[in-house]
Amino acid sequence: MKQGRHVVLGIERQNSGTFEHAFAFARQMADRGYPIEYYANWFGGPVKRLDLDTEKPTIVSPDAIGTKGTYYLQSHTWEHDGLLGGISADSESQIVMNLHAVIPYFYLSAHLKPSFLDGTLPEGEMRQIIDFVMSERERSQLKAIGRSNVLLAISELHKLALERLGFDKRVGVFENVSDVSVLDSEILDGARVEGERYRAGLDSENVLLYYGRLGLGKRGRELFDAFGNIMESHPSTKLILLGSGEKGKDSLVGAGLNPVCWKEWFWFPGLIRKLLKGELISLRIILLQMF
């Protein structure tokens, strides 16, 4: 068994797609012999410990989390609810924060992001966003970043954004993530051609793209209901679902969804099948060129 105590500070499945990453990480750690624990918290809710085999939650005292060990922070709800203070203050603990987004940077408009990254953004512009645009919940992400020892970012641009925000931290970048801006022009041109060809083939002015899993636990019925309302005023609109499969479909149909809706509104693009076969370089790039 690996030495030390390892704790994932995540959320429950129904609260966010982030759960999928956090819980899978905990399971992989367990498979590799780490003594891993998974705790879930949501804004204002109780702390729960989740069984790694069944996902069954058990409400526990916040004290059960302890303060010694390596803590893999997957959500800033833990800072918002005041549960990180004791951990960060303990010299025998270390917090590794997984950042899916750098919230202040996310709020910048497209034309301001480059000037922020190259250091020419007007003084006070980012401060305005932090103080008057971000919610208290969102600002707690910055506090959580400040308490963390190591940050894991999804791209080099996010790493640079953290530096521009003044965080002097160890930052790791996931190796399998590429920034579109640094890719070869030939790759981008090829993706653009594929994307435009597929987009033209849809024969629809409006396209709604849902990227993620879909099922009862993901409030799939609400998505169908909302799209039904859109179809009433914009009947040519198409809804494309990426990332789900027959299991998600079966759960919704079993709950009473008319199978015709799935057939008429949802497409699993041939691009996805090509991607799985390794025929396309990056689906993400293609989607950026399409919509």
**Assigned domain for 108 exists:** yes
Mean pLDDT by 10 residues, the chain (291 residues): 85 81 91 94 95 95 94 96 95 93 87 90 92 94 97 89 94 67 62 70 72 63 79 78 66 72 61 56 54 50
106 and 201 both lie in a single domain? no
Contact 246, 155 (CB under 8 A): no
Alpha-carbon Rg for the chain in angstroms: 21
Q: CA 267 to CA 190: how far, in whole Å?
A: 23
Q: CA 194 to CA 280: how far, in whole Å?
A: 9
28 and 163 both lie in a single domain? yes
Domains: count for the chain:
2
**Assigned domain for 152 exists:** yes
**Predicted pLDDT at 10:** 96
User: What is the identity of the amino acid at 131?
Assistant: D
For residue 62, give the 3-state DSSP assignment.
helix
Domain's final residue, options 153, 173, 193: 173
**Predicted pLDDT at 143:** 97
**Assigned domain for 1 exists:** no
**Assigned domain for 75 exists:** yes
**Assigned domain for 144 exists:** yes
Task: Name the nearest CA neighbour of 268 among 281, 282, 249.
Answer: 249
**Predicted pLDDT at 155:** 84
pTM for the full predicted model: 0.65
263 and 133 both lie in a single domain? no
169 and 184 both lie in a single domain? no
Domain housing 153: 6-173
213 and 162 both lie in a single domain? no
Contact 130, 145 (CB under 8 A): no
**Predicted pLDDT at 1:** 46
Q: How many CB atoms lie within 10 A of CB 2?
A: 12
